[in-house]
Structure 1
Amino acid sequence: MERKWEKVFNILSVGEYPPFFTSNQKFKLRRYASKFTIKGGELFFGDKKAVKSRDEARALFNEFHVAPNGKHLGIFNSRRALCAKFYWFGMTRDIEKWVLECNECKTRPLTPAQIKIKRLAQNPPKIKRGVLNKKVEEAKKLAAYAAVDYHVKDNQIVGIGSGSTIVHVVKRLAERVKKENLNVFCVPTSFQTRLLIQDIGLKVIDLNRHLEIDVAIDGADEVDSELNLIKGGGGCLTQEKIVASCAKSFIVIADYRKDSSALGEQWKKGIPVEVIPMAYVPVSRAIQSQFGGSADLRMAVSKAGPVVTDNGNFLLDWRFDQEHNWSAVNTTIKMMPGVVDTGLFINLAERVYFGMEDGTVKIRDKNML
């Protein structure tokens, strides 16, 4: 932890890079350091003080975990108290671990959230060994079940994404609704998802009736180390982004193949861009002119001509050839006349569950970055 803070501090204060850093490493460090500021010789993440060491983090936890009345706070309240003032790498994971290890807290019954976290940490479900596609499906199922079990509660409105991983979300949600008699309404992000939800017997509701969604769960084509996503491989990116933006909490599920340190590392099919049909040529040329790479019209497989989205639009797949500032790229492309939206999901995901090849579930949380 100390070494990473030192790198960030040096680049902000004197513009100094570690020795032997490549241009790509320098770019990543600059991008990460841009989230921080130096105030009074101390490093801050927004208005939160950056904690320099694990020992200091543990000392702060010990201080904030016990309320003034002597009562020990649970995971949620401990995290809320600390996250309001401080930031360190992996703080969500650390707080969860330390609360579960607290001798005083061990004498009290675990909350449902603590039970689920403990089960994930101590007894991760194992997938069956077999062919690759079976492993992948099991990994998707692990991620989906973890997300539904941890985040969906009674009397909630739940956004349901699109794609193959979402099948497991809908199945698990239906199981819980039947077993626990949950009252849950689902907001679909595509025509296909709507049919899936209806066929399994869940309640469907639209955004024109309820503008606020409690939690949205969706898949991704790729997730980088900073929770930037590429979505839209299935062509539903615009409705997916609308639902995600209306949710109090946006949770992403994926298998281990989608986990990348940088966008484009695993996903080679490009970033989808939904465009009005008459604009696909001008937009394609504008993207290529400003950012390089190739932006090609996505052609259909089972019909003649291009893919048509649920909104009646076309899709461009932009295959980029270098790293970019994705927030700036997303804004620039969206401002091009004729663009409906992009498959870049920036600063939307709160947490990602990766179903891993070894049968465990890996969690990446925005508070752990």
Structure 2
Amino acid sequence: MAINLTPVDRAKYAAARRAVDLVEDGMKLGLGTGSTAAWMVRALAQKVRDEGLRLTCVPTSARTADLARELGLRVVPFEDAGWLDMTIDGTDEFDGNLALIKGGGGAHLMEKIVATASDRMVVITDASKEVKALGAFPLPVEVVPFGWQASRMLIEELLAAMDVMGTQASLRMNGSRPYITDEGNHILDLSLGRIGNPRQLSLALNQVPGVVENGLFIDICDAVVIGFPDGMVELRDITSGTVEHERILFEDTENIFSDV
């Protein structure tokens, strides 16, 4: 099976496998959303089956919840779990300080809530997501449907005074209709090119009327696991200042990803 995976999928799988090695029996986990997080959920379910772990999982989207339940993981509502030990999630971009842009999958509001209610956030990714400066990936901003046009206008005015290269805000669409988040909101994608001061921008965006949350994750991620197509992984832990390297074997991918 592994030989049929694309190089990017092999890298994502390697990162997911290394991240679930950090999971211990009895943990309460936040499960991220997106294509990379889906690899992690599958690898986590396999680990639970192999080792008999007792875990409590809080998903960050309806689709993650559906996948986790389908694979036999114990899923509970966030309010029933309380404080979490760790959240494992993907990212759309990350920089050298482990600041992130998330929300390409439309779940950054729940992802940010869950991640900040965890002792640790571990991000799994491939090397292509690392950037010197955030902003090449469009920055998602979740807004309430009422008056979203006014929110967009205010955001574009705000961006003109920020250290960014672009100021265009586009309504995310799902076919011919606006994309709707799990919370019933819209998403504006900001084409910025480069973000000179992510912290300042994040604070300013959340002051705009109608904005619920933005996709900048600042001082939230504690470690990143970077996967490579040959099975090598790099674990950077910003809290301890350590960097570890390891190789993941692919021989068991047929069992884990037989439905992919």
Q: TM-score, normalised by structure 1?
A: 0.61
Cα distance per residue 1:212-269 (max 9 Å; x no partner): 001100000011111110100010110011110111111000112111121134x3xx
Question: What secondary structure sits across from 1:179 in the alignment?
Answer: helix
Of the three residues 191, 197, 209, the one matched with 1:337 is 209
- Contact kept? 2:133, 2:196, Cα under 8 Å: no
1:223 aligned partner: 94
Please state how far the C-alpha of 1:179 moved relative to its aligned partner.
Answer: 1.2
Question: What secondary structure sits across from 2:63 in the alignment?
Answer: helix
Cα distance per residue 1:345-366 (max 9 Å; x no partner): 1100000011124431122321
Task: Flag the 1:138–1:281 CA change in 2: closer, same or farther, 3 A.
Answer: same
| Unaligned segments of structure 1, at least 5 residues | 1-126
Say if 2:158 is the partner of 1:290. yes
2:228 aligned partner: 356
Question: What secondary structure sits across from 2:173 in the alignment?
Answer: coil
- Contact kept? 2:58, 2:81, Cα under 8 Å: no
1:154 aligned partner: 25
| Distance of 2:70 and 2:235 partners within structure 1 | 31
Give the alignment of 1:175-194 within 5 angstroms.
Answer: 175-194=46-65
Please state how far the C-alpha of 1:286 moved relative to its aligned partner.
Answer: 1.6
Give the alignment of 1:91-170 within 5 angstroms.
Answer: 134-149=6-21, 151-170=22-41
Of the three residues 130, 136, 142, the one matched with 1:274 is 142
Cα distance per residue 1:67-117 (max 9 Å; x no partner): xxxxxxxxxxxxxxxxxxxxxxxxxxxxxxxxxxxxxxxxxxxxxxxxxxx
Cα distance per residue 1:304-345 (max 9 Å; x no partner): 311000000000001114432111110110111111100111
Of the three residues 326, 339, 349, the one matched with 2:198 is 326
Partner amino acid, structure 2, of 1:310: D
2:174 aligned partner: 300
% identical aligned pairs: 39
Of the three residues 70, 73, 78, the one matched with 1:207 is 78
| Distance of 2:10 and 2:146 partners within structure 1 | 42
- Contact kept? 1:299, 1:307, Cα under 8 Å: yes
| Unaligned segments of structure 2, at least 5 residues | 161-166, 243-260
Which structure has the greater CA radius of gyration? Answer: 1
2:184 aligned partner: 312
- Contact kept? 1:159, 1:189, Cα under 8 Å: yes
Task: Flag the 1:178–1:299 CA change in 2: closer, same or farther, 3 A.
Answer: same
| Distance of 1:186 and 1:166 partners within structure 2 | 13
Give the alignment of 1:64-83 within 5 angstroms.
Answer: none
| Distance of 2:27 and 2:195 partners within structure 1 | 39
Of the three residues 110, 123, 127, the one matched with 1:256 is 127
| Distance of 1:279 and 1:332 partners within structure 2 | 18
| Distance of 1:359 and 1:287 partners within structure 2 | 42
Q: How many residues align?
A: 234
Partner amino acid, structure 2, of 1:282: A
Partner amino acid, structure 2, of 1:334: N
Question: What secondary structure sits across from 2:174 in the alignment?
Answer: coil
Say if 2:47 is the partner of 1:173. no
| Distance of 2:7 and 2:156 partners within structure 1 | 37
Question: What secondary structure sits across from 1:208 in the alignment?
Answer: helix
Question: What secondary structure sits across from 1:324 in the alignment?
Answer: coil
Structure with more helix by fraction: 1
Question: What secondary structure sits across from 2:235 in the alignment?
Answer: strand
| Distance of 1:285 and 1:161 partners within structure 2 | 31
Question: What secondary structure sits across from 1:204 in the alignment?
Answer: coil
Q: TM-score, normalised by structure 2?
A: 0.86
